[in-house]
Structure 1
Amino acid sequence: MAETVTPSDTTTGPAGHLLSSLDPLLRQWLPRQRWFAGKGRPLTGFTPVAVTELLPGTGRMGLYHLLLRVHQPPAPGAPPHPGDCYQLLIGVREALPPRLAPALIGHVTNGPLAGRTVYDALHDPRPAQVLLEALRTRARVGVLRFEREPDQEIRDGLVARLLTTEQSNSSVVYGDTFILKLLRRVVAGVNPDLELPLALAREGCARVPAPTAWIRAELGEEPYVLAVLQPFVNGAADGWELALRELAKGEDFAAEARALGRATAEVHTALARALPTATLGQAQLGPLVDGMRERLAAAVTAVPALVPYESGLRSAFDALAALAAEGHTWTAQRVHGDLHLGQCLRSPSGDGGDAPDGGGTWSLIDFEGEPARPLAERRMPQPPERDVAGMLRSFDYAARSAAPPAPAWADTCRAAYCSGYAEVSGTDPRTDPVLLRAFETDKAVYEVVYEARHRPDWLAVPLAAVHRLAAAPPVRPDLPRPPRETRP
């Protein structure tokens, strides 16, 4: 592993010269990446945060690790922003073999890499193995720190392959033994995608794969978490794909939904033991409700189809604020933050029922939260109903995306999920319909904006939920609570 190229705070020096030669190529390549969050806005420049040489760029195969701040005009109505920081692994070759054609960034015409070809190195097994070897040996290269749990071992020689289904991040599987999730948009501070799985592992919660190793960058007072290595659940089915498959066959999914509710409650229970909880009264709930109202107002401006529903949707938030004003309180804790079927894995063991003695057949992954939200907000304690609402929306999404739509299938899954959750937690989420409706409404509003921007053909899916939620009658948290389950 080569010496570090010392980064510069300006566009001069080795980092600046390298970046100036890559600048025109990255301006074209970055906006085409699925994980790039700034689509639709021009790129006005780059600032190197850190540039580390992992393999010499003048050799047969070079490898650079870049932390790059991307400058763009702010979105309409948004405050000025210093620019998002992205993590790139740039491979360097004289020419790319055909198998790496999808990874091409471009051909460099000037600077230290003139005449060579640069590409997204995660597509290439050899550079990807460099990362695993660095984790195995706990390497320190420049600002990069490759760390692992003291009792965890990593075998060498594991063949790497890039998963092609990622969106906001990238993942590499090593020999069906480990999976490395490499965060693309990174921020300084404690990242919940490492923090929460570590806390759950130390609580003995088997529902979340325990981190084996991770990569950090030491920059300033707070490090950047760059990647997390965890055991790979070989043969596991993605919850979203599994649900769609069962829908297409006309199969009932209630047993799986109930099992997933149990798994979610186990994770929530473990998080409440491992990390501090809080009580939310009117003072604490006010900012949360205000955020929901502000997101709705912005969404109505961005998506005119929401205009007829604005009053009905706002009533969900007003009802929650009214309950808080009456003196109701809620318990908040650390939660997943972006829970849906795609964040759940079903291992091939077990019969699908996930009985109390059946082991951990459902796993929850990706605890990063919603990447677009500030890190401090993602780390705040939240009512667990936020996660529940995300999963209820996911069942509805699956059912509405089927042909023909199957709303009754979603209703059955939603009820089964809440029942399974209650069996473990002792509290049925439906006993607080005001809170649950507010979180569901907030999520549906977010979905409408997302689909309008990225997948207009899907806009009807969240709009169906908007129609239902806006027309919902006033409700009170008065459902009976089931007895807390006692487990051996």
Structure 2
Amino acid sequence: MQNTALQRPGSLDLVGLLSSLDELLHAWLPRQRWFAGKGRTITELTLLSVTELHPGCLHVLVHAGHEGTGTGHGPGGTPPADDCYQLLLGVREMLPPRLAHTLIGRADEGPLAGLTVYDALQDPDAAGLLLERLRHPGTAGPLRFERDTRVPIPTGLAPRLLDAEQSNSSLVYGDSFILKVFRRVQPGINPDLEVPWSLARQGCTRVPAPAAWFRTSQPEQATLGVLQPYLRDASDGWALAVESLTSERDFTHEAYALGRATAEVHLALAAAFPPETPTRRHNGRLADAMTERLHATARSVPALLPYVPGLQSAYDALARLDTAHPAQRIHGDLHLGQVLRAGQRWFVIDFEGEPARPLAERRHAQSPARDVAGMLRSFDYAARSRRPWRPEWSQRCRDAYCSGYAAQARWDPREEPEVLRAYETDRAVYEVLYEARHRPDWLPVPMTAITRLAETTLRPPRQ
């Protein structure tokens, strides 16, 4: 690349660069799987920071303003607020054929006029240089690269971009490390760095420990990416469960072991972060938030309306509880796709939580029953992913998972049915909204759970 204006970091002019990028990003951003404002018009773009990592490669934080309602979702089913996105943009005079699929467009004006702009995370050369930045801690403009120097990171690891993730982008380096790049950036430390780092200090080996990471100080402190060991021979829990169903093989042994692994992680989290004892007031606020999400979803998905009174009874029962199992840091979005099995051992990954929720909310202490409920719902999903549907397979896995959890944690979430039912109901309501907007053919899966949960009668309260 021969654009000398971009080779002098002090000359980066945000207003000028925006004139080059505005039209290109308006068209390109909404087409990306990790773009949170699906179906919503971008009203404005603002460059928050631009850092030249090396000649021809710009690290960009861009603010996207939206209008309308669209299909994004936030707390209570509302559209997400305006978002900040992290981009790695390559700039060349000509794009070689091997990078044709990375094209964003050709700039018509501004300092990049006449140059081709592309997604540099898909460029092996740029991805390799990003790893080198992580291998050698330091700063570049507002960016800070840090690492655990006890973990050796070899040079020359070939990168490849995974295509399975929705809300982020992940690069695998030589089948040794995986770098998760957070596309939607929020102020504060991301739980996917904070939690694995804290668990590693507790000696918990169920979660791959961070080897390196990078963050920004402008416009606010925020985590941008985390490098962790890559479990190359592992299979994710969803694939294993579906294979079990396809081959008509029992999965209860694996479900029991997964329950124990989940409890082991929860115990380590309780040691790393101070737990909180819920009160009736706390339970009432939690029930109110669940109720708000229920009614917002029912307004968006009319099929849910007949079940609202029955579902509401789950939240009412939660609100009446004087206390419950201590709240603590949890995974926050646990399901079969967030666990890996290598050999005979389960690992838990992706502690970011639900990306649509505010980062501060994802860092709150919550009941471990929320994670348990997420996994119970995931067994239901797996059972209904193949025909004929296998509800008995799901029930056996659910029971085995809870039994394994209880054996390790010395606490059985089934002993607090009000809490577990409320969290499973809240999860099913979330699934209804998601499927109605993104995969209508899957809507019967959570609706079956909705029918069951709306009709559930809890046993009499414990004396």
Q: Does residue 64 of structure 2 align to residue 65 of structure 1?
A: no
Q: Structure 2: which amino acid aligns with 1:407?
A: P
Q: What TM-score does the superposition give when structure 2 sets the normalisation length? A: 0.94
The 1:367/1:81 distance shift into structure 2, 3 A limit, reads closer
Q: CA deviation at 1:107?
A: 1.7
Partner of 2:3: none
Partner of 2:175: 176
Is the CA contact 2:383–2:393 (under 8 Å) kept in the aligned structure 1? Answer: yes
Q: Distance in 2 between matches of 1:216 and 1:163?
A: 22
The 1:413/1:145 distance shift into structure 2, 3 A limit, reads same
Q: Does residue 140 of structure 2 align to residue 141 of structure 1?
A: yes
1:226-241 → structure 2 map (5 Å cutoff): 226-241=224-239
Q: Structure 2: which amino acid aligns with 1:374?
A: P
Q: Deviations for 1:63-86, whole angstroms, at most 9, x for unmatched residues?
A: 111111100025389989862101
Partner of 2:459: 475
Q: CA deviation at 1:102?
A: 2.6
Secondary structure in 2 matching 1:332: coil
Q: Deviations for 1:451-482, whole angstroms, at most 9, x for unmatched residues?
A: 11111111111111111111111334659xxx
2:443 to 459, 463, 469: 459
1:369 to 341, 353, 378: 353
Q: Distance in 2 between matches of 1:251 and 1:97?
A: 48
Partner of 1:285: 283
Name the count of aligned residue pairs.
453
The 1:30/1:303 distance shift into structure 2, 3 A limit, reads same
Q: Percent identity between the aligned chains? A: 59
Q: Distance in 2 between matches of 1:170 and 1:246?
A: 29
Q: Deviations for 1:207-260, whole angstroms, at most 9, x for unmatched residues?
A: 00000010100125x511000000000111011112112211111111111111
Q: Distance in 2 between matches of 1:395 and 1:435?
A: 19
Q: Structure 1: which amino acid aligns with 2:293?
A: R
Is the CA contact 1:25–1:106 (under 8 Å) kept in the aligned structure 2? Answer: yes
Tell me, which stretches of 5 or more residues in structure 1 are unaligned? 8-13, 57-61, 351-360, 480-488
RMSD: 1.9
Q: Distance in 2 between matches of 1:97 and 1:426?
A: 59
Q: Structure 2: which amino acid aligns with 1:219?
A: Q
Q: Structure 2: which amino acid aligns with 1:67?
A: L
Partner of 1:250: 248
Is the CA contact 1:4–1:54 (under 8 Å) kept in the aligned structure 2? Answer: no
The 1:75/1:19 distance shift into structure 2, 3 A limit, reads same
Partner of 2:15: 16
Deviates more, 1:115-124 or 1:166-175: 115-124
Q: CA deviation at 1:329?
A: 3.4
Q: Does residue 394 of structure 2 align to residue 410 of structure 1?
A: yes
Q: Distance in 1 between matches of 2:132 and 2:94?
A: 25
Q: Distance in 1 between matches of 2:340 and 2:79?
A: 39
Partner of 1:299: 297
1:426 to 407, 410, 419: 410
Is the CA contact 2:41–2:68 (under 8 Å) kept in the aligned structure 1? Answer: no
Partner of 1:335: 330
Q: Does residue 376 of structure 2 align to residue 392 of structure 1?
A: yes
Partner of 1:354: none
Q: Structure 2: which amino acid aligns with 1:273?
A: A
Secondary structure in 2 matching 1:273: helix
1:436-455 → structure 2 map (5 Å cutoff): 436-455=420-439
Q: CA deviation at 1:3?
A: 5.3
Q: CA deviation at 1:189?
A: 0.8
1:24-423 → structure 2 map (5 Å cutoff): 24-56=23-55, 62-73=56-67, 75=69, 83-219=82-218, 222-322=220-320, 324=321, 327-347=322-342, 349-350=343-344, 361-423=345-407
Q: Deviations for 1:311-354, whole angstroms, at most 9, x for unmatched residues?
A: 111111011112x2xx233310000000001110111x23xxxx
Q: Distance in 2 between matches of 1:432 and 1:6?
A: 61
Q: CA deviation at 1:19?
A: 1.8
Tell me, which stretches of 5 or more residues in structure 2 are unaligned? 1-5, 71-75
Is the CA contact 2:324–2:416 (under 8 Å) kept in the aligned structure 1? Answer: no
Q: CA deviation at 1:269?
A: 0.3
Q: Distance in 1 between matches of 2:173 and 2:247?
A: 33
Q: CA deviation at 1:383?
A: 0.7
Q: What TM-score does the superposition give when structure 1 sets the normalisation length? A: 0.89
